Amino acid sequence: MAERVPCPDCGADNRAGATTCRLCGDPMNATAAAKPAVQRKLLRRTDFVAAAEANRKATTRLVLLLLAIGATLGYVLGWNLEIFIGDALVVTDSYRAYQQPGHDSIWFLSSWGIWAASIILVLSVIWTLIALRQGDRIVLRITGARPVTVEQEPVLHNVVEEMAIAAGIPKPQVVVIETEALNAFATGLSTRRSAVGVTRGLLDALDRDELQGVIGHELGHIVNLDMRYATAVSTLVGLIALVADAAWRVAYVGGRAGAARRVGGRSGGRGGGGGAAVAILILFLVAALAPVFAKLVQMAVSRQREFLADATSVRLTRNPQGLMSALEKLSKQAAPFPGANRATQHLFIVNPFKHFPEKASRLMATHPPLDARIRRLGNLGG
């Protein structure tokens, strides 16, 4: 068993050699505290501007990684199509136009693969633009939220207006979900076309400071254009899943075709039968792993945007204690309700279906652990 070392501040067990505590985030020793990387990490914990910038950079890297996954899947698919369909068309002029001269193995720069990767990238942009036009309306219909007037909910409208002024954006539409569960969400593809929603249970359970913290968090999603990120990422993940399904079919057909050639005594084409088998195996692996990695990236983006919205709430309210107290109540009383489903769970301030504790595996979590969020808010409050 690996050696564990207690944190000098909170006492939590950490692996030997760790520079910062996994629980409280403090340096493990004076040597670690003097390192520039640790000092930058500590700055992000106590400065919401630095925290917001770090989260934006992390999100950008994750979206680029997602695009790279899609492009890789497209390239491998096109590469296999060139190998197997190209073999069938080897006597035609069209195949010779694609064929790379001087290469007889499967290890060549595939023109078809480059075209397939480019097509996936273009389709992802087009598909995302289509989804962006309807995304916010769909969310409001799915959740069952209804608009409320100032006369019906004066305190809620007043808090939303205060936070909108602090954020420098037009006041969003205010909606309520009639359920006793505690939760809140925001939707909107721009600051001029947005909505903030809370549940009836949240309105009844929180005081004004706590409500300000929650609304500040939700307006943070609007200010940071998180609905755009979520829509774009969801679209890319869906496209990767569809292409992966097509890749499985190509691999299946290619495998049967390769078997037929071996039975018939023909092993022509690039690399012969052995090379074709390697190409099929690579396609199988990429088609199997790409959707999994894409989903992991999607969840990582969702978690980063939650941290960013928390930091934005602190910037708007100047009072991290309000959101900290609200999250503590939400951790105990959040529950599934009509209008929440697997497709919308990432939109809410806490996941209505799952609570991810600090020590649980977080790879597939839509939200960071509430303990980690509360701890970061405490650090931002200095």
Residue closest to 232 by CA, chosen among 37, 49, 11, 60:
60
Q: Is residue 346 classed as helix, strand or coil in its secondary structure?
A: helix
Q: How confident is the model at residue 161 (pLDDT cuts 50, 70, 90)?
A: very high
Across 13-40, average pLDDT: 76
* Per-residue pLDDT, 59: 66
Token look-up 């708007």 returns 316
Active site residue 218: yes
C-alpha triplet 237, 220, 190: angle, nearest 5° = 65
Residue closest to 84 by CA, chosen among 298, 278, 289:
278
Give 175's DSSP letter: E
Query: Total structural domains in the chain?
Result: 1
Token look-up 């931002």 returns 380
In a domain, 104, yes or no: yes
CA 203 to CA 329: how far, in whole Å?
12
In a domain, 112, yes or no: yes
- Residue pair 367/327 in contact (Cβ under 8 Å)? The answer is no
For the chain, report the end-to-end CA distance as a whole number of angstroms: 37
Query: Residue 171 pLDDT more than 90?
Result: yes
CA 63 to CA 36: how far, in whole Å?
27
In a domain, 20, yes or no: no
Q: What is the pLDDT of residues 276-296, one digit of tens each?
A: 678 778 888 888 888 888 888
In a domain, 11, yes or no: no
Choosing from 82, 153, 218, 306, which is the catalytic residue? 218
Report the chain's mean pLDDT, rounded to a whole number. 78
Q: How confident is the model at residue 135 (pLDDT cuts 50, 70, 90)?
A: low
C-alpha triplet 113, 119, 124: angle, nearest 5° = 130
Contacts of 372 (CB under 8 A, 6+ apart): 358
- Residue pair 204/223 in contact (Cβ under 8 Å)? The answer is no
CA 88 to CA 119: how far, in whole Å?
23
Contacts of 209 (CB under 8 A, 6+ apart): 319, 321, 322, 325
CA 73 to CA 20: how far, in whole Å?
37
- Residue pair 229/237 in contact (Cβ under 8 Å)? The answer is no
Across 153-179, average pLDDT: 94
In Å, how far from its chain's centre is CA 212?
26
Contacts of 49 (CB under 8 A, 6+ apart): 315
In a domain, 39, yes or no: no
Percent of the chain residues past pLDDT 70, beyond the cut: 74
Q: What is the pLDDT of residues 296-314, one digit of tens each?
A: 888 877 887 888 899 889 9
Domain of residue 188: give its range: 63-382
Across 188-217, average pLDDT: 92
In a domain, 55, yes or no: no
- Residue pair 155/198 in contact (Cβ under 8 Å)? The answer is no
In a domain, 3, yes or no: no
* Per-residue pLDDT, 274: 57
In a domain, 9, yes or no: no
- Using a 10 angstrom Cβ sphere, with 0-12 exposed, 13-18 middle and 19 or more buried, the burial of residue 16 is exposed
* Per-residue pLDDT, 142: 78
**Which amino acid, one-letter code, is at 20?**
T
